[in-house]
Amino acid sequence: MKSLPAKFTERIQNQFPGYWQNLIDALNSEPPVSIRINKNKLSQIPTKYKQVPWSSSGIYLPERPLFTLDPLFHAGVYYPQEAGSMVIEYIAHKLSDKFEQPPKYILDAASAPGGKTLILSDIFAQSIIFANEIISKRANILTDNIAKWGAENVVITNNDTAHYHQLEGVFDIVLLDAPCSGEGMFRKDMNARNEWSVENTSLCVERQSDILQNILPLIKENGYLIYSTCTFNPDENEQLMQKVLPAKGFEFVPFDELQEFGIEKVENELGYQFLPGKVESEGFFLSVWKNTNPNQRKENKKKSKKDINLSVKLNFPLQKDKKTYLLNDEIYAIPKDLDESLLINLNAKYAGVKLGKLIKNKFKPAAESVFYNSFKNQFPIIELAYTNAIQYLKGNTNFPLPEKTTKGYYTVTYKNHPLGLIHSLGNRFNNLYPKPWRIKMHIPENQKENFLF
């Protein structure tokens, strides 16, 4: 294991005089493994695993399995997530109690690969979540994770946060899980150790300040900012909070009860930190603020050009709370309440439920559509046993379909959880599992079905 950067060790000796050695020992030990269960797909949390204390859907696993070989991972039944990050679920619950009506719009400003967006989408199921990611490749990974989870209320954009300036005063809650120096990931991610330098941490502070300047005006009066990082560096955490937020009319929102879990209040009392060794998680920092500035929102008079002639005729009914939306030639079902004019000038990549597209007037369903509870029954189901499910996920067609499978689309499932689509031609079939999602690794011949639940 690469040793910790000397300047980092020097700093934490001053920062945590009574704890630095324990912190170093913890950072050089094995990281805990945790996953978050998708309660929309698995109603019962498996009781044989230890629960993450601050999350009702998080569990620890005794060791890291090869997730790739578990079809339920591909079906979005759970998401491997660092335990500390799951505190966003706790905060989201507490904030939702503060609203009389469900918040309408929530922004996750730096959201790939999407673990925290999934939490927001679960807890604020009545709200519309904008998940933004600046790096295009990462926005693609984000999209896959959101779709597989079956989150129906998420709009994904691939933008610099500066591009959101027209959405001033729109959001009830903005989460900034900021790009940071990653010190809290030093035992999980050796790259974080390699890339760390004093100069880099200063660059991170600059970037975090810039993003904050962009996103603070987007928050409504009495709306909330949730700021988090995975670093111990006070300059990126509590010091930055102190420097920026009170001057902008934001008030700190305390969650002192988090200390019951072993999570510590930071020195200037403007946030909470997870220290490995004290809590079963990687390093994490969290600070929540309320906007006390009077509402500045001017009604957007511009109408979206896209909302004209958009209604698309489908062969199956849409629920009452949804409408169709055309984006990059694909048909989506989006929440009826979403004002499409908010998307003008944003690079939207995905919105709500991807249904499919019309090719020569024929509807071709999207692979993603099977993951959503509202649409998973659009085609008849073929349940696959483990070995065949793995073959399906590899993109193969070397397994038999039930006798009398007629022509048409079918959803294939494993343990009743949809994995994807096939198109049966009667005597053979096409595997419609998208190439980028396919399992590429070699499967050991005697691979057993020995997974989590």
Provide the annotated active-site residues: 230
86 contributes a contact to ligand SAM by CB under 6 A: no
CB 369 within 8 A of CB 150: no
Chain positions 171 to 210 lying near ligand SAM, rule: CB under 6 A, are 177, 179, 207
Q: Which is nearer to ligand SAM, 118 or 412 (CB)?
A: 118
- Please tell me the distance from the alpha carbon of residue 314 to that of residue 293, in angstroms, as a whole number: 45
Whichever of 138 and 278 has its CB closer to ligand SAM, that residue is: 138
Q: Which of 115, 184, 352, 420 binds ligand SAM (CB under 6 A)?
A: 115
Q: How far is the CB of 107 from ligand SAM (least distance, A)?
A: 11
Q: Which stretch binds ligand SAM (CB under 6 A): 12-20, 113-121, 243-251, 297-305?
A: 113-121
The DSSP bridge pattern shows strands 78-80 and 105-108 to be unpaired
Closer to ligand SAM by Cβ: residue 170 or 226: 226
Contact track, ligand SAM, 206-245, x by CB under 6 A: -x---x----------------------------------
- CB-based burial, 249-281: b 16+ in 10 Å, e otherwise: ebebbebeebeebebbbbeeebbbbbbbebbbb
Residues with Cβ within 8 Å of residue 6, at least 6 apart in sequence: none
Instruction: Give SS3 for 114.
Output: coil
Q: Cα angle vertex 344, ends 216, 140, to 5°?
A: 80
Where do we find the tokens 């009495």?
A: 222
Cβ 116 to ligand SAM, closest distance in Å? 4
CA distance 52 to 38: 15
In the complex, minimum distance from the CB of residue 113 to ligand SAM, in angstroms, rounded to a whole number: 5
**x-or-dash string of contact with ligand SAM, 139-178, rule CB under 6 A:** ----------------------x---------------x-
Q: At 172, phi and psi to the nearest 5?
A: -80, -35
- Residue (of 419, 377, 416) closest to 42 by Cα position: 416
Q: Binder to ligand SAM among 7, 21, 64, 135 (CB under 6 A)?
A: 135
Q: Give me the residues that bind ligand SAM (CB under 6 A), please.
A: 85, 110-116, 133-135, 138, 161, 177, 179, 207, 211
